Amino acid sequence: MPDGDQRSAAFPNLALALGVEDEAWEGEGLGDLEAFARRAIEAALQSARMPAGLASELSVTLADDGTVRALNAEWRGKDKATNVLSFPLVQLAVGDVPGPLLGDLILAHETVAREARSEGKPFAHHFTHLLVHGLLHLIGHDHLVEAQAEAMEALEIEILRGLGIPDPYGEAAEEAPARNAKRA
């Protein structure tokens, strides 16, 4: 196991490749960013009933708005920054077990920070929610139609509750632009 690789007992065969491209992430008081991300990702995998022996690799890149905007324009045809982009290696259906390469998550610091402030949430809570949200996309969840959105949101709420984080879709977040942006 490489230095810095913090595999856990829950998913000992899950390799997490964390890249920090914008040092602003380091200033958010989250401590060890790899351990922070792994906690959210493993909680999502457990709640989604992925097998503990899952042998896969996930890349998480902590970037800035410019990087995410360029990727969003190139891959989704949307020339704007967004909070998180999910790039699955293979499109999975809900319940499918991923192969050896799960995919990539890329998060934009400025957007995540701005949304957390505007929604009155701690940065750590919003970041955790977006890691969970992005991971669920990688394992087949989506929110393109209302029934899918409700199921995905319910799972997100369950996962976050298990991590001690309040419902991100609660009354205070109901009118927040970030909620609507996630469905765009």
The string of pLDDT tens digits covering residues 33-91 is 999 999 999 999 999 999 988 999 999 999 999 999 999 999 999 999 999 999 999 99
Tell the residue number behind the tokens 């505007």, with chain if given: 118
Tokens of 57: 């690799």
Domain-embedded: residue 1: no
Tell me 97's DSSP state: P
**Burial (Cβ within 10 Å: 0-12, 13-18, ≥19) of residue 103:** buried
pTM, full prediction: 0.88
88: CATH: 3.40.390.30
Q: Could you tell me the residue range of the domain that residue 87 belongs to? A: 14-182
Q: How many domains does the chain have?
A: 1
pLDDT band at residue 144 under the 50/70/90 scheme: confident
**Burial (Cβ within 10 Å: 0-12, 13-18, ≥19) of residue 145:** exposed
Domain-embedded: residue 7: no
Q: Any idea of the CA torsion for 54, 55, 61, 67, to the nearest 10 degrees?
A: -100
Q: What is the mean pLDDT of the chain?
A: 89
Predicted local distance difference test score (pLDDT) of residue 3: 42
Residue 129's closest CA among 169, 175, 88? 169
